[in-house]
Structure 1
Amino acid sequence: VLLCTDIAARGLNLDGVHWVVQYDPPQDHSEYVHRVGRTARLGQQGRALLFLQPSERGYLELLQGAGVSLDELKFASVQQALCGRNATSRDVYMTELALQKQLESTVATEPLLHGLAAGAYQSFLRAYSAHSKAEKRVLHVSQLHLGHLAKSFALQETPSLISRQQAK
């Protein structure tokens, strides 16, 4: 597993990359192709997964307009893969809740992890605000639910508290 920023979208030639998992849309939709290109080297097939929030669905139209072929993977199928085919909706909920609590607890009790998570949250917001003009039509920071976003970084504090802590 290699975790990286958009810097790795160009110039790296890594063998054996089969998946690119994208937590956020690239700054410019034309960069999507370069990110995904890490998987399709020397004629090899590759796959990419791009997480989008419901408010970001318009980004798919930008990609399709650029000639990118897309298949939607429903979140329920990801949940089912994590919890097993016979899992009930309650099983899925309890597994997700336990995982979220464990992540939040670890981040809350480890100062280094907490600082990194808070910094990543702030960096995400700054990068999101810097999307190109074409993307800002569909990816505007005002459409984000900042509390949910903070939770996705395993932070328990409110967004305003995170901002104040980072400013210190």
Structure 2
Amino acid sequence: MTAGADIPFACRCGTVTGILHDVRPKEGTHVVCHCNSCARAMQLSGLGDTAAGGVDLWQTTPDRIEIATGADRLVPVQLSPKGLFRWTAQCCDTPMINTFGSPALPFAGILTGNLSDPAPLGPVIAHGFVTGPNGKQRHQNGGRVIWRFVKRTVAAKLGRAGKQTPFFNADGSPINAPVLAPRAD
């Protein structure tokens, strides 16, 4: 099997840098999320207008992500006390990666706008939380996303990959203390 591309990524000011390893379309899921939480996270970072078309993410496992510099500046921001960890570069307020609040489920969604070259990700295969004309939200290709998430997560949990994460310490605590975002008005 041929290895995929290694893609560098960085925050807006270049303090937090890293590499997304072994990128191949079948090893992750390229999605666009239109949920209110993703839009709010972008607004909190001063990127509100960029969320209008959704937030472009590559869903994978944390073992594929290497933080090269600035790990001490990467802070998990939560929009609610039980919400996702939205790892943000504190130096320039760049949203970078989403994970669950513990390493128990090996999942990471990296914001593709921070990648030096998103081409190896392949095409977007799904859109989540799209608001229809009736105001209800729906998913385009949601079953495919869920199947790929389950397959990747189970494989990672059964192997060593499930224990390799740059976001959590060996005891399961985050590398930096979580911050609760101010409530929306």
**TM-score, normalization: structure 2?**
0.29
Which is richer in strand? 2
Instruction: Report which of the two has the higher share of helix.
Output: 1
Tell me the TM-score normalised to structure 1 length.
0.32
Mark the structure with the bigger radius of gyration.
1
